[in-house]
Amino acid sequence: MKKIIQSILIATLLFAVLSVQAQPYPSKPIRLIVPFAPGGVTDVSGRIVATALAKRLNQQVIVENKPGASGNIGAQLVAKAAPDGYTLLLALDGTLVINPHVYERTGFDALNDFAPIAKVGDSIIIIVAHPSVGVKTLAEVIALSKTNGKGLEFGTSGSGSITHVAGELLKQRSGANLVHVPYKGGGPAAADVVAGHIPLAFASASSVTQFIGAGRLIPIGVPSPKRSVVFPNVATFAESGVQGVELNSWVGVLAPANTPDAIIRQLNVEINAVLGESEVKAQLQGYGIIAASGSATDFASEIKRDFDLYGPVTKQAGIKAN
């Protein structure tokens, strides 16, 4: 009798396990970890995607902000989460491809602890100048910097940020005499250029578009591979004669490593579908983000490329997180 009862219990347990496994994904709410405080461009883009994705999946996609250490804390949380598709990371490029080079410890392996799912989009970076500087092109900026013994100051959102790396890469590729001035965010950096306290800034499109439109800042160039739809009349660095400086600030979704391929594929398809919606595209572009599309493999390749590119740049520039 005891053996019969044990057999029944085992069979019941096995049935329960198989029933759970047979449930289609997702069968419960998904957590989307945003490793930054609420209100920023990364957070807003995450909420735009989460809202649209929840409708397609018929399941809640809950945004959770876990800020700290330039995104390291939130990334650590996802790296250690169960690889079941229910804890995802909304990653900014700086967290995955710059932080490992400038922090002594990040608490995660950027290339091995995550499974890339899909790139959400690119936040355009642009170099701008105060009108009093008297420059309108990148060539003029470079030439002026070389005639100034102290160099030209450029503000960014902080040491080790993608805008800082963009400035250092420009220096290394062109020989420009530029001096980095870190701020606690892109907004304060843009404000100081508008006020004329510093001559230049590398900034995201969202933080300077209004000032460019009002004529209070001069757009100099974009380091992206092609001209931006946000600034169609602004030349790329390559068009301005500076090669080897091609970068954007991207946002993307990743899962913990070893998440089943079927889940990665499903989420990639659904996120790409969301990013193809005209309303989502418009919402993202309103924050300076150009919606992307592509496979998980495409996104993984871009992460690896940027990781390998920024390592030598940060080392040569001696960039360390502060």
Note if the pTM is more than 0.75: yes
What's the rounded Cα separation, in Å, for the pair 156 and 303? 22
Please say which residue of 221, 241, 268 terminates a domain: 221
Report CA-CA distances (Å) from 66 to 61, 72, 75, 92, 285.
Answer: 16, 9, 9, 13, 25
**Model confidence over 147-166: pLDDT tens digits?**
988 999 999 988 899 999 99
Residues 137 and 286 in one domain: no
Residue 215 lies in a domain: yes
Residues 62 and 118 in one domain: yes
State which amino acid sits at residue 237.
F
Give the pLDDT of residue 93.
93
For the chain, what's the residue count?
322
For residue 186, the model assigns a pLDDT of 86
Q: Could you tell me which of 147, 90, 94 has the C-alpha nearest to residue 114? A: 90
201 neighbors 126 (Cβ within 8 angstroms): no
Peptide bond before residue 24 is cis, with ω within 30 degrees of 0: no
Structural domain of 173: 125-221
In a domain, 322, yes or no: no
Q: How far apart are CA 56 and CA 88, in angstroms?
A: 17
Tell me what pLDDT residue 51 has.
97
pLDDT at 22: 58
Q: Are both 150 and 292 inside the same structural domain? A: no
Is 240 contained in some domain?
Answer: no
| Contact between 201 and 127 (Cβ < 8 Å) | yes
226 found inside a domain:
no
pLDDT of residue 19: 45
Residue 112 lies inside a defined structural domain of this protein: yes
Q: What is the DSSP string of 143-161?
A: HHHHH-TT-EEEEESSTTS
Is 244 part of any domain?
A: no
Q: What confidence tens digit (pLDDT) does each residue in 123-136 have?
A: 889 999 999 999 99
What b/e readout covers 251-285, taking b as 16+ CB neighbours within 10 angstroms? bbbbbbeebeeebbebbbebbbebbeeeebbebbb
Q: What is the DSSP letter of 66?
A: -
Looking at the structure, tell me whether residues 179 and 216 fall in a common domain: yes
Query: Which residues, given as ranges, of the chain have pLDDT below 70?
Result: 1-22, 322
Residues 167 and 19 in one domain: no
